[in-house]
A and B are shown apart, each in its own frame.
Chain A
Amino acid sequence: AQSVTQPDIHITVSEGASLELRCNYSYGATPYLFWYVQSPGQGLQLLLKYFSGDTLVQGIKGFEAEFKRSQSSFNLRKPSVHWSDAAEYFCAGLFSGGYNKLIFGAGTRLAVHP
Chain B
Amino acid sequence: DTGVSQDPRHKITKRGQNVTFRCDPISEHNRLYWYRQTLGQGPEFLTYFQNEAQLEKSRLLSDRFSAERPKGSFSTLEIQRTEQGDSAMYLCASSLEGGQYEQYFGPGTRLTVT
Contact = CB atoms under 8 A, between A and B. Distances in A.
B41 A107 contact: yes
A110 to B, nearest CB: 15
Interface stretch (B12-20, B66-74, B95-103): B95-103
A102 B91 contact: no
B40 A106 contact: yes
Contact of A43 (B33, B44, B100, B107): B107
Contacts of A49: 100-102
Nearest to B50: A100
Interface residues of B, number: 25
Interface in B59-114: 91, 93, 100-108
Contact of B106 (A43, A94, A99, A102): A43
B45 A102 contact: yes
Interface string B1-33: 000100000000000000000000000000101
A99 to B, nearest CB: 6
Interface of A: 4, 32, 34, 36, 41-46, 49, 51, 90, 92, 94, 98-107
The 3 A-B pairs with the shortest beta carbon distances in the complex, nearest first, are: A104-B42, A101-B45, A44-B105
